[in-house]
Amino acid sequence: MRLKNFEATLEYAKELDKEDSLGRYREEFYLKPGSIYMDGNSLGLLSKRAERTLLESLEDWKDHGIDGWTQGNHPWFFMAEELGKKLAPLVGGSAEEVIVTGSTTVNLHQLVSTFYKPEGMRTKILADELTFPSDIYALQSQLRIHGYDPDTHLIRVKSRDGRFLEEEDIIEAMDETVALIVLPTVLYRSGQILDMKQLTDEAHRRGILIGFDACHSAGSVPHSFNEWGVDFAFWCNYKHLNGGPGGVGGLFVNRKHFGESPGLAGWFSSAKEKQFDMEHSLTPAHSAGAFQIGTPHVLSVAPLIGSLEIFEEAGIENIRLKSLKINQYLMDLIDSELAGMGFIIGTPREDARRGGHVSLEHVEAARICKSLKDNGIIPDFRAPNIIRLAPVALYSSYQDVWETVRILKKIMTDKQYEKFINEREVVA
């Protein structure tokens, strides 16, 4: 449904910006002059607070050396736990259920190695055919480690249209052979949100554990992982959470699983009070901290400290409201200004079914993305035909969105894209 009183005018965009309660955070981010950033769903921009806390952590190292473990601005020994407390409200977990550690794929390996316990007929892992490839690689790897053939033991639920998944199809695949389910919260291509509560309820009704990859929702969509009974979740912190390239990831483990031995144990799996006893018998932390492996990557964690200050102030519910509104505005403009130019919006229209980006399909998508960059607009391309545009609640303006669509219309009208090859770059 279009925004109330929608107009495809610059004046209307400026009015929306005046009404934007989160607009004040825009000045906290480093925005490149002459450029409009629409790729925050791949890598969030640097904030001044994230820069500050990174520099403070460098100062801690410089000033304290080894004593930085317990002294300084951001002591290292409890850094992961402290950040877990700050992340917990964004995903709907308690402080003890969330930890900052590892990377997306490392954390997936950790969680699957812990919770995948094939027994009897239950030997298969259930995923979907639209999930991000690295998750599939990890699941295939885990099956091989357990002696199973991924071709027969990794179930990938089919999409009916290549864009979306139907919850009823996923539920139908939850049979007596499934030991574990791993699904995305938001599909990385189309931006569809899955009904996590329904899927969790149905999995548990059949005695199956279920976990979610929240990479494309953490920081833009509120979750209630604990309330929904989700067994585990994992995500990166460098997209909507603006933690920096290669930033350390996060994971959630439902407290009902506390006491479960980590599948991949390491020094930081230890209970904090026992860690420096240096015993050869691990005493795991009675929290999500047990699922850490090695020492925190302090300088990769540090920017997240400042970034999460902003999220704590702004509030995830307010972020979600603006995200829905600014993406609806983007779709309204596309409908109004780009009609008849071959574009298809491949994102669900319903608020409850879409995440924080708009998927725009076109046969010339790769060329159009190159032309957008040539015009100072930073989009994201996904093969073979998707332009992902992500106005981010904390730093994108409605005028940014209006300008993006204006330029996109000009690119198509003037056929500017024709000077580029319709193939992706090395990094899409």
* Residues 274-309 as b or e (16 or more Cβ within 10 Å = b): ebeeeeeebebbebbbbbbbeebbbebbbbbbbbbb
Average of per-residue pLDDT across 78-98:
98
Residue 299 host element (H or E) = helix 298-314
149 in a known ligand binding site: no
User: What pLDDT, on a 0 to 100 scale, did the predictor assign at position 422?
Assistant: 83
**394, 314 contact by CB (below 8 A):** yes
Q: What is the dihedral of CA 163, 166, 171, 177, to 10 degrees?
A: -20
Residues 133-159 have pLDDT tens digits of: 999 999 999 999 999 999 999 999 999
- DSSP secondary structure, 108-125, as one string: HHHHHHHH---BTTB-EE
How would residue 425 be classed by pLDDT, with cut points 50, 70 and 90?
confident
Does the pLDDT at position 426 exceed 90?
no
202-233: per-residue pLDDT in tens?
999 999 999 999 999 999 999 999 999 999 99
> Taking 80 as the threshold, does the pLDDT of residue 1 lie above it?
no
Is 115 flagged in the annotation as binding? no
Q: What is the DSSP string of 158-180?
A: PPSSSS---HHHHHHT--TTEEE
User: Does 128 carry a binding-site annotation?
Assistant: no
For residue 396, the tally of other CB atoms under 10 A from its CB is 29
Asked if residue 114 belongs to a known ligand binding site, the reply is: no
Give 388's contacts (C-beta < 8 A, 6+ positions apart): 39, 41, 42, 189, 191, 357, 358, 359, 360, 379, 380, 381, 382
Q: Mean pLDDT, to the nearest integer, of 372-377?
A: 98
Diameter over CA atoms, the chain: 70
Average pLDDT, the chain: 97
Backbone φ, ψ for residue 119 (5° rounding)? -155, 135
Q: Is the pLDDT of residue 84 over 80?
A: yes
Higher pLDDT, 428 or 408: 408
| Res 372 pLDDT > 80 | yes
C-alpha distances out from residue 294 to 77, 231, 318, 319, 409, Å:
12, 23, 35, 33, 50
Query: How is residue 29 annotated by DSSP?
Result: B
Q: Which pLDDT score is estimated for 182?
A: 99
Name the band, by pLDDT with cuts 50, 70 and 90, for residue 374. Answer: very high
Residue 258 has pLDDT above 80, yes or no: yes
Is 238 annotated for ligand binding? Answer: yes
Distance separating alpha carbons of residues 339 and 163, to the nearest angstrom: 21
Examine the pLDDT at 238 and tell me if it is beyond 80: yes
pLDDT reported for residue 4: 87
Neighbours of 182 (CB within 10 A): 28
Q: Which of 326, 395, 404 is nearest to 368 (CA)?
A: 404
Q: What average pLDDT does range 282-310 have in this prediction?
A: 96
- 17 labelled as ligand-binding? no
Q: Determine the Cα–Cα distance for residues 324 and 318; give it in Å rounded to an integer.
A: 10
Is residue 428 over pLDDT 90?
Answer: no
In one letter, which amino acid is 158?
A: K
> Mind giving me the DSSP string for 202-248?
HHHHTT-EEEEE-TTTTTTS---HHHHT--EEEE-SSSTT---TT--
Q: Using one digit for the tens of pLDDT, what is the confidence trace for 45-60?
A: 999 999 999 999 999 9
pLDDT at 276: 87
pLDDT at residue number 46 = 98
pTM: 0.96
Q: Which domains does the chain have, with CATH numbers?
A: 10-30+316-417 (3.90.1150.10), 51-313 (3.40.640.10)
* DSSP labels, 338-368: STTTT-EE-S-SSGGGB-S-EEEE-TTHHHH
Is 216 part of any known ligand binding site? yes
Copy the structure tokens of residue 88: 């917990």
